[in-house]
Amino acid sequence: MDSKLVLPCIRMQENPRYSLILVLKRKEMTMLGVRLHQTAFYESMTSTLFKVSYQNISTCSKSTLTSWLLVRGVTDSISFNRKLKWLLYEGHRAEFAALAQILSTMSEAGRKQYINSLAEQDKQKNKLICVDQFMNILTPASITAFDFAQLTALYKIGSRMRLTGRKEARSFSLEAAQIAQSKYKSWHEYYSACIAGSYFESPPADLSSLKLRYVQKLLEATRVHPPIQWDRKLK
């Protein structure tokens, strides 16, 4: 090899500034890879629940995001933080657990009799039907996945709508994802809980085919395997 070509290369590698640039470039590429994995994970966390995907939150209209927030009672930074705290520490899972505790003391026939005895106007009746259908097929984490899917989307929307800082949203989204990973063993378990939670939050008018709808939606959610493994390290 021509020594004239080799020597400049050696000098560049020995140059402290050049070495620092290489280190910074490697760190930058590593961080980019981590962010891509995190985004793919958050996208998969919310994919079964929202017409607007996690990635599209960055580009969809603010009016759409405002409507999404209003449905969930978020109108400003105060209600935003209140909703975040509720989803993190209580959420829909608290009511689900309370109703499941009531039904767990009864036999299957007793549960049916109790639910049928409630007036049609009773707001809890349809939720009790959902709990009765799902309580014995979910993992101990119950519908926690549904709360954390909403939490993840809320962080991203809050960042876009300037209800929270971008850095804070990234930090808390990571925390939410890691907690979800500790609660479930697979995407299948997670999606099962998400879908059950969505039906619990808003029970369909016709509950006679609830189990069939649930199975169909779960099949749709798991037909295409998520682009990232459930137990992937996110940090």
CA distance 37 to 132: 37
Q: For residues 122 and 129, is the Cβ–Cβ distance under 8 A?
A: no
* Res 181: pLDDT: 96
Cα 80–Cα 85–Cα 91 angle in degrees, nearest 5: 105
Residue 92: closest CA among 44, 149, 45, 48: 149
Task: Write the CA distances from 29 to 2, 23, 43, 55, 227, integer angstroms.
Answer: 32, 10, 21, 20, 20
Task: List the chain pLDDT tens, one digit each, 235 residues.
Answer: 555 555 555 555 556 665 555 444 555 444 444 677 888 888 888 887 665 555 577 778 888 889 889 989 999 999 999 999 999 999 999 999 999 999 999 999 999 999 999 998 898 999 999 999 999 999 999 999 999 999 998 998 998 899 998 888 888 889 999 999 999 999 999 999 999 999 999 998 888 899 999 999 999 888 877 878 999 888 8
CA distance 127 to 204: 10
pTM of the model: 0.81
| Sequence spans of domains, the chain | 39-223
Q: Give the sign of the dihedral formed by CA 171, CA 172, CA 176, CA 182.
A: positive
* Res 60: pLDDT: 80
